[in-house]
A = this chain, B = another copy of it.
Amino acid sequence: MLTKAELQRLRSLREKKTREELGFFVLEGEKVVAELLAAKFSFSEIYATPAWPGAKTHAITVEEMARASHFPTPSSVLAVGRIVRTALAPGALDRGLTLALDGVQDAGNVGTLIRIADWFAFDRVVLSPDCADLFHQKTINASMGSFVRMTAHTAELARALKKTSAPILGCDLTGDDVHALPPLRDAVVVIGSEGRGLSPAVAARVTRRVTIPKFGGAESLNAATAAAIVCDNLRRAQARV
**Chain A residues within CB distance 8 Å of chain B:** 39, 112, 115-122, 142, 144-146, 149, 179, 212-222, 224-225, 228-229, 232-233, 235-236, 239
**Whole-angstrom distance between the Cβ of A117 and the nearest chain B Cβ:** 8
A235: which B residues are within 8 A, CB to CB? Answer: 213, 215
A232: which B residues are within 8 A, CB to CB? Answer: 212-213, 229, 232-233
Contact A221-B145, Cβ < 8 Å, known A215-B121, A228-B229, A229-B228:
no
**Whole-angstrom distance between the Cβ of A217 and the nearest chain B Cβ:** 4
**Whole-angstrom distance between the Cβ of A34 and the nearest chain B Cβ:** 13
Contact A216-B144, Cβ < 8 Å, known A221-B116, A228-B229:
no
A142: which B residues are within 8 A, CB to CB? Answer: 222
A212: which B residues are within 8 A, CB to CB? Answer: 119, 232
Out of B213, B214, B225, which one reaches A225, CB within 8 Å? B225
A-B pairs with beta carbons under 8 Å apart, 9 shown = A115-B218, A115-B222, A120-B214, A121-B215, A122-B216, A142-B222, A144-B219, A215-B235, A224-B225
Which 7 A-B residue pairings sit nearest by Cβ, starting from the closest?
A121-B216, A121-B215, A119-B218, A118-B218, A225-B228, A149-B217, A118-B216
Q: In the bound complex, what is the Cα–Cα distance between A117 and B214 (angstroms)?
A: 11
Contact A120-B228, Cβ < 8 Å, known A179-B236, A222-B115:
no
Q: Is the CB of B120 within 8 A of A219?
A: no
**Whole-angstrom distance between the Cβ of A172 and the nearest chain B Cβ:** 15
**Whole-angstrom distance between the Cβ of A40 and the nearest chain B Cβ:** 11
Q: Is the CB of A112 within 8 A of B216?
A: no
Q: In the bound complex, what is the Cα–Cα distance between A236 and B39 (angstroms)?
A: 35
Out of B146, B213, B219, B220, which one reaches A218, CB within 8 Å? B146
Residue of B nearest to A226 (CB): B228
**Whole-angstrom distance between the Cβ of A20 and the nearest chain B Cβ:** 26
Q: In the bound complex, what is the Cα–Cα distance between A55 and B206 (angstroms)?
A: 41
Q: Is the CB of A215 within 8 A of B120?
A: yes
**Whole-angstrom distance between the Cβ of A219 and the nearest chain B Cβ:** 7
